[in-house]
Amino acid sequence: MSVLRVTTPVLEIGYESDGPANGPPVILLHGWPDDVRTYDGVAPALQSAGMRTFAPWLRGFGPTRFRHAHTVRSGEVAAIAQDVLDFADALGLDQFCVVGHDWGARAAYLLAAVAPRRVDRIAVMSLGWVPGAPTTPALEQARGFWYQWFMATRRGAEFVRGHPQAFARYQWDTWSPPGWFTDQDFERTAVSFENPAWLDVTLHYYRVRWGEAAPDPNHARLTAAADEAHSITVPTLLLHGAADRCVLPQSSRGTERYFTARYRRELLDGIGHFPTREAPETVAGLLLQFLR
């Protein structure tokens, strides 16, 4: 599939799109360390069902580029969510569904919380949502987040800058039960990590999340609105791997009280942190039921 491009105030966004031109729009947001290839086993089913899919590379990934040297290479969730709104505006999409994994899931939650008029429904994978700014997790989950604490240190950041692909590969090796990917799978996606802004965006995403980096003031309003949201009012589907070794499945238990519209949480037995890659047919079937 050829790479398409659209220009927003901040980015030139590379994306892939397919399906009926007049089909309901569905924006597919990948996570970290990943890219649009994560939806290769899922998007065709949505397209065959009449949906028009749009899969952008997030800021700092693949062909997506910052337009201006002075723009902060922010990894804030609000920055990514604003990118999605700008992307939709550039394509003339007034209302759309969002499917998001990992980073993409956090952006989907934020959009649903603060821009429900734009978002028809969201399907999120591998993490739950609770109101307010992030709090220090329980010890077992904190151990799962070791890589985030690692990047928040000077030495950790230096290591990641010196060994970016090895660091990303280690997460693939350890976040799910073994055997779910090949060397070629990783190498095909790791090309996206060669983006000149990938390291800066990656490190800022995790450092700012825990208060170890300064946020970009350009996103202060959207961040504040997200932190003040008490509930999500659009229909939501959460798919969480029961064998996720990064974001533990118990972390998303009991979150239904924060959703005022239809909400469903589905645990996927034997699946780790990358459901679209590990069980694409199962995920596609659940998405079709929900998005229809």
- Which of 280, 238, 201 lies closest to 33, judged by CA? 201
Distance (Å, rounded) from C-alpha 32 to C-alpha 38? 10
pLDDT less than 50: residues of the chain: none
**pLDDT score at 292:** 87
Helix, strand, or coil (residue 4): strand
Which domain range does residue 119 map to?
A: 4-291
> How much is the mean pLDDT over the chain?
97
Contact 284, 41 (CB under 8 A): yes
pLDDT (tens digit, 9 = 90+) per residue, 139-162? 999 999 999 999 999 999 999 999
Q: What is the CATH number of the domain that holds 14?
A: 3.40.50.1820
- If you search the block for the tokens 């949201």, which residue do you land on? 229
The total number of structural domains that make up the chain: 1
SS3 assignment for 134-151: CCCCCHHHHHHCHHHHHH
Contact 213, 84 (CB under 8 A): no
Beta bridge partners, 4, equal: 15
